[in-house]
Structure 1
Amino acid sequence: MKSYRSNQVFLFIYWLLLFISGKTLFLFYHAAKTAILSVSEIARIFFYGLRLDMSMAAYLSIFPFLLLFFSVIPDKLTRKLVNGYAVLCTFFIALLQTVDLHLYSIWGYKLDATPLQYLNTPTEMIASSSGAPLFLLFLLFILQLAAGLFLYFRFFQPRFSGHKITRKKALVSFLWLIILVLPLRGGWQQIPINQSDVYFSENAFANHSAINVPWNVFYSIIKKDYDGLNPYTFMAPEIAQKTVSDLYQKPNAPSAKILKTAKSNIIFIILESFTANLVGSVGGEKGVTPEIDKLAEEGYLFRNFYASGDRSEKGLVALLSGYPVQTTTSIIKIPRKTEKLPHLAHSLKKAGYQTSYYYGGELAFANMKSYVLMAGYDKITGKADFPTRDYNSKWGVHDHVLFQRVSKDLKEQKQPFFTTIFTLSSHEPYDVPMKTRFAGDDEANKFRNSMHYTDKAVGNFIEEAKKQPWWQNTLIVLVADHGHTLPNYVDYDSKAKFHIPLILTGGALAKTGITDTTIASQTDLAYSLLNQLHLPNQEFKWSKDIFNPAEKPFAFYIFNDGFGFVTDKGSFGFDNISKQVVQKKGQFTEKDINTGKAYLQTSFEDYLKK
């Protein structure tokens, strides 16, 4: 029988074994990525990751160590409390490590507090994950839970029945509590441990594999509000501000005129997850989006347009408010901040436009409803406004149903109008009501089929629109809310993931058959449209005019705690955790890196002050 004073050591080792087995499972689950790593890199994943594992094990040990120290509590009650705590923690560790297995495939970064943003809309959250291999994941969860509990009750549970409490044993227990401080903060160094301490490779997957999932989740929860302090202070504020101001220095050259009339109707179609990798007209696979490619050929196409972030709610704010995306949080989560943002709908409404917003899903998802309401749309249509018989999608109604409603309503719409349409069928789980165009039940082909379906719905909508009397005075904007890692699982921080289409069409378009190679971003669009309409746009200070060739060409995007910067000469990604460049293509200089840092610093400071 184990002695009383060894109980704490055995408990600590138990937590470590759970985390090490979780890392091993992660590497096997992502076997294709693991196969690229050398044996040395795999060994270092466990070696470098051990510090975070020990830190989390120390946090988990505090409660049982305290119980074992206050030994005046009867043995029977102490055993029940410690064992119950161990079972509960084992359950959540197994759950978090299992969820991380699949979400990493989608997001490209380790599980953090991001899913908590969607707890107020559980139906949509479940729908989003329904494309996952649920049976396999459930088996892996049960395997981790069962193996963990077997090990615990067979080898690691405290056994101290009938012991006598002595000062010596109490002192040893107290010393174990004190010793916990060392692994808890990751060592004696001045700054407590963080994710960067386990980064060791230029391979992002190797670094991510070393991160302890439970530690990462709780750390991101604790740090989410930033206490009003900017964690991205790279340089003196005045230098950062000057650097960003230079990017937006307005040229004397005039912008190209793309509209026939100054007060055109605008239909703003936001396409869920429409990555450029599957849109042939912008260099992606051919045949997935034939309708949109046709519109690009006869309209105005931007080939080098980039999303500002990687989530729908982030893209929404970037597109409609011209506001930069934040790293591990989103301004849309805080209504008091979004109330201070400009909005394309608000600007157009002041100019006499009738405004409307259409979405086939739950408006409250990711807190988008508060943002849309504060924009002041005259009419907002969501899932609840459709008959339940039309709820064919797990998210809500399919895109063809949504477009049919918009077509019907626009026949009675007073001009000029601004109509925003947000599609949803190309979101996970990619369930669409169409005959399979691309064979195969894998995620990539399901995604291709969903984009192909939405493309057809868009094409039908445009054909119907061309028959309407308002067509000749209407500009239609087709743009994605964000990109995607599919179909080829591009890196989560690469510019390929953020490359999206922007296509302008409609009878109001003065120039057609145009392909523009200007490098631009979602944050530029609202400002540029208002400029074409000769309406005030000074509120959109994080924007440049994409129709003015004299503007400085660049795009800035955010991935999880890092940023990317694209210029006409090259691009790079900078990881804030490892504090190094992790993606690079073409040419870039130290000045470009500092410009990206200044942009992140200044934009995040602006977010904190909202």
Structure 2
Amino acid sequence: MKRFSRFNEYKALAYRILLVYIFYFIARILFYLYNVNLIKINSFFDFARLSYHGIAFDTTTILYTNILFIVLSVLPLVVNTKKVFQKILFYLYFTTNLLMYSFNFVDFIYYRYSFNRSTRASLDTFQNEDKTTLLLNFIVGYWHVFLLFFLCAFVWIYLYKRVKIAEVSVKPSINYFLGATASFLIIATLCVGGIRGDFKKSTRPINLLDASRYVTHNSQADLVLNTPFAIIRTWTANTFKKVNLVDKKVVDTLLVPIKQYKNNPKTKPNIVILILESYGREYIGAFNKNTKIPDYKSYSPFVDSLAQHSMIYTNAYANGWKSIHGMSSIIAGIPSFKDAFTSSAFSKQKIESLVSVLNGEGYDTSFFHGAPNGSMGFLGFSNILGYDHYYGKNEYNNDADFDGVWGIWDEPFFQYFNKTLSQKKTPFMATLFSVSSHEPYTVPEKYQGKFDKGTVNIHQTIGYTDMALKKFFNAAKKEKWYDNTIFVLVADHGNTIAYDEYRKEANKHTVPILFFTPNKKYVGENNEWAQQIDIYPTLLDMIGYDKPFRSWGRSLINPNDVKPFAIKHNSKEYMFMSGNYICTFNEKKAIGFYDKDDKDLKNNLINNRNKEMDILELRCKAFLQDYMERIIDKKLDSK
């Protein structure tokens, strides 16, 4: 018999994948019932809403788990309907699906101890244990979970077998293979989108952080998630491991992770933090006076003029290399090294930050980003930090100002930012993350040719965002809140490099840090080491906050704080910079010392160590030890 269509095969595939969704939903219900006292759900509608958002995370897991099954089911073969082939598909389907599905059931119990979905880090904790004994103890102690799993598996298998594919002989033909190949390509494209979470260019593949976009309480993120997803997304992202390198006294003395300042009278000025996308230090003339770069050119005339009335830090670094790393470093004082904290299994925990501190001081806190809500992971992390409000492309609600790729153009969105702030009660803390100085590096049509295109692709967009900043400040000057406000300007990271000076290893990831107050309280230029994680403690010092708080950074205005330093990771090793030297570190010990002016790291001085180098190594060890311990033990506060 000639087979004219594969419709029945596609229908059977859709049915089989639908079954996976149904049983993942059942697992979500059971997970909630087992942990009803730990997950704050207010109503049936609340549960339904969170379950709906969980479909995206289920989709990623289901497609990862079933990718081979789907490929074999839709490949344009001539044996697809054969009984032997269908039996192979059956065993492949249930071997992979039941294995991954079982992790959900483990978390019915384990969640009450960890308060998180299990991750790769969770599995690593059992690597030296007797796994057979642990499994037997689990089965005996929680037999009801084991029984529920097998009951679900039995019903699942029964339902799978209810729909069979009749064996049909196929006569190969060009039309058959062309039609089947076209169907295969369409299904493959849909699978890619499902694994990523969507097809938008402005968003990266969803991860654990994205589950927090939809929550009103942190625990709800674990209902949105499923355990296999948490394991898959953290499989290659677990370099968070405790190290024991120095005595606790060394940490408390050299790092001082718990800060307390009593230098300034207690005040409540508004705080506006402008995080500029890709706005590296290289592009701003005011931050390059001492670089001696031949034929240097600035592309930010307004920021250059603002710098003349501000306190600027010309030797500052980003503590990560992605936008979300900038947010966690600047707002929460948490840097990212080999793996991002925000993409790790540890991101969903109580975090003491600028947001939580100012919320406690009666501030209204808000985060603004003109991209589609959820882009870059900002919405999820802002919920974890506890921002009162989030304003994105949805709230802006005017696609006429959409750039077609990333979000709302900076000029109109900055004006929206000003208007929204002007309607708020003071004091407020507002964070704006800009959009336009980003690939594909275009400007609105009406500004074509207005900004210097310079020598690299980003230069004209630096000029456009600079103009948008100027218009924002001109508008904000007219508002009542303006005079009692501390403005912070900083980049999330750098971007395309135009000058060789910034290709040097120790000059990568450099950013501007600028504090501006209309009353000109803070004016000057500081060339000491500085970094994004210093902004949080500096602001608390400025407003006279006198309670203890957790901070790995330092107050940039407090000469009695820890010695100026900067730390970053270059994908191979840590770099700890302070005083006269740059130390490279491999997680256990120093592997290099370089003069602070040796930005290319050409002359390793490790064989001529001195006391300053020894202390520098101790400081690096103290930082890494306390960083890992606090993140893993969920002690990201001052308690």
Q: When the two structures are superposed, what TM-score results if normalisation uses the length of structure 1?
A: 0.58
8 Å contact from structure 1 (residues 485, 492) kept in 2: no
8 Å contact from structure 1 (residues 124, 365) kept in 2: no
Task: State the match for 2:268 in structure 1.
Answer: 263
In the TM superposition, what are the counterparts of 1:171-210 in structure 2 within 5 Å? none
User: Which of 319, 335, 340 is the aligned partner of 1:308?
Assistant: 319
User: Letter of the aligned partner of 1:400 in structure 2?
Assistant: E
User: Which of 339, 343, 347 is the aligned partner of 1:328?
Assistant: 339
Rounded Cα–Cα distance in structure 1 between residues aligned with 2:297 and 2:426: 37
Task: State the match for 2:301 in structure 1.
Answer: 290
Q: Does 1:124 align with 2:132?
A: no
Task: State the match for 1:438 in structure 2.
Answer: 452
Q: When the two structures are superposed, what TM-score results if normalisation uses the length of structure 2?
A: 0.56
Task: State the match for 1:454 in structure 2.
Answer: 465
CA drift of 1:373 comes to: 1.3
Once the two structures are overlaid, the 10-residue window that deviates more, 555-564 or 593-602, is 593-602
Rounded Cα–Cα distance in structure 1 between residues aligned with 2:256 and 2:512: 23
Q: Does 1:239 align with 2:216?
A: no
Rounded Cα–Cα distance in structure 2 between residues aligned with 1:366 and 1:490: 29
CA drift of 1:409 comes to: 1.4
Rounded Cα–Cα distance in structure 1 between residues aligned with 2:505 and 2:249: 26
Q: Give secondary structure in 2 for the equivalent of 1:286.
A: coil
Q: Does 1:515 align with 2:525?
A: yes
Rounded Cα–Cα distance in structure 2 between residues aligned with 1:609 and 1:305: 30
Task: State the match for 2:506 in structure 1.
Answer: 495
List gaps (5 residues or longer) in structure 2: 1-83, 90-191, 206-231, 598-604, 606-611, 635-639
CA drift of 1:286 comes to: 3.3
8 Å contact from structure 2 (residues 593, 613) kept in 1: no
User: Letter of the aligned partner of 1:603 in structure 2?
Assistant: Y
Task: State the match for 1:356 in structure 2.
Answer: 366
8 Å contact from structure 2 (residues 324, 378) kept in 1: yes
Task: State the match for 2:352 in structure 1.
Answer: 342
User: Which of 526, 548, 557 is the aligned partner of 2:558?
Assistant: 548
Task: State the match for 1:48 in structure 2.
Answer: none
Change (3 A) 1:573 1:527: same
Rounded Cα–Cα distance in structure 1 between residues aligned with 2:252 and 2:628: 12
User: Letter of the aligned partner of 2:381 in structure 1?
Assistant: Y
Task: State the match for 2:284 in structure 1.
Answer: 279
Task: State the match for 1:526 in structure 2.
Answer: 536
CA drift of 1:472 comes to: 1.2
**Could you give the per-residue CA deviations for residues 493-523 of structure 1, whole angstroms, max 9, x where no partner exists?**
82311221111113254233x1122322211
RMSD: 3.8
8 Å contact from structure 2 (residues 270, 486) kept in 1: yes
**Could you give the per-residue CA deviations for residues 365-418 of structure 1, whole angstroms, max 9, x where no partner exists?**
343222101222222111222322221241011111210101211222211111
Once the two structures are overlaid, the 10-residue window that deviates more, 558-567 or 272-281, is 558-567
Rounded Cα–Cα distance in structure 2 between residues aligned with 1:264 and 1:481: 24
CA drift of 1:263 comes to: 1.3
Q: Give secondary structure in 1 for the equivalent of 2:559.
A: coil
8 Å contact from structure 1 (residues 307, 315) kept in 2: yes
Change (3 A) 1:288 1:368: same
CA drift of 1:225 comes to: 2.9
User: Letter of the aligned partner of 1:275 in structure 2?
Assistant: G
Q: Does 1:407 align with 2:418?
A: yes
Rounded Cα–Cα distance in structure 1 between residues aligned with 2:197 and 2:583: 36
Rounded Cα–Cα distance in structure 2 between residues aligned with 1:507 and 1:305: 23
8 Å contact from structure 1 (residues 237, 602) kept in 2: no
Rounded Cα–Cα distance in structure 1 between residues aligned with 2:592 and 2:406: 37
User: Letter of the aligned partner of 1:225 in structure 2?
Assistant: N
CA drift of 1:254 comes to: 7.1
Rounded Cα–Cα distance in structure 1 between residues aligned with 2:442 and 2:526: 34
**Could you give the per-residue CA deviations for residues 303-346 of structure 1, whole angstroms, max 9, x where no partner exists?**
22221111111111111011232322323544x63432112122
Task: State the match for 1:473 in structure 2.
Answer: 484
User: Letter of the aligned partner of 1:410 in structure 2?
Assistant: L
Change (3 A) 1:229 1:420: closer
Rounded Cα–Cα distance in structure 2 between residues aligned with 1:332 and 1:223: 11
Rounded Cα–Cα distance in structure 2 between residues aligned with 1:391 and 1:354: 28
User: Letter of the aligned partner of 2:619 in structure 1?
Assistant: T
In the TM superposition, what are the counterparts of 1:28-43 in structure 2 within 5 Å? none
Rounded Cα–Cα distance in structure 2 between residues aligned with 1:561 and 1:362: 33
Rounded Cα–Cα distance in structure 1 between residues aligned with 2:309 and 2:250: 41
Q: Does 1:570 align with 2:578?
A: no
User: Which of 589, 593, 597 is the aligned partner of 2:613?
Assistant: 589
Task: State the match for 1:608 in structure 2.
Answer: 632
Q: Give secondary structure in 2 for the equivalent of 1:337.
A: coil
User: Letter of the aligned partner of 2:247 in structure 1?
Assistant: I
8 Å contact from structure 1 (residues 315, 482) kept in 2: yes
8 Å contact from structure 1 (residues 268, 421) kept in 2: yes
CA drift of 1:529 comes to: 0.8
Change (3 A) 1:288 1:486: same
Change (3 A) 1:578 1:572: closer
Task: State the match for 1:420 in structure 2.
Answer: 431
Task: State the match for 1:186 in structure 2.
Answer: none
8 Å contact from structure 1 (residues 493, 564) kept in 2: no
Task: State the match for 2:174 in structure 1.
Answer: none
User: Letter of the aligned partner of 2:431 in structure 1?
Assistant: T
8 Å contact from structure 2 (residues 403, 409) kept in 1: yes
Change (3 A) 1:300 1:333: same
Rounded Cα–Cα distance in structure 2 between residues aligned with 1:278 and 1:422: 18
Change (3 A) 1:559 1:119: farther
Change (3 A) 1:574 1:584: farther
Change (3 A) 1:582 1:491: farther
Change (3 A) 1:254 1:414: closer
Task: State the match for 2:375 in structure 1.
Answer: 365
Rounded Cα–Cα distance in structure 1 between residues aligned with 2:233 and 2:365: 38
How many residues align? The count is 399
User: Which of 528, 546, 549 is the aligned partner of 1:539?
Assistant: 549
Q: Give secondary structure in 2 for the equivalent of 1:123.
A: coil
Q: Does 1:224 align with 2:232?
A: no
8 Å contact from structure 1 (residues 291, 458) kept in 2: yes
User: Letter of the aligned partner of 1:604 in structure 2?
Assistant: M
Change (3 A) 1:493 1:244: farther
User: Letter of the aligned partner of 1:381 in structure 2?
Assistant: Y
CA drift of 1:246 comes to: 1.2
User: Letter of the aligned partner of 1:467 in structure 2?
Assistant: K
Rounded Cα–Cα distance in structure 2 between residues aligned with 1:348 and 1:254: 17
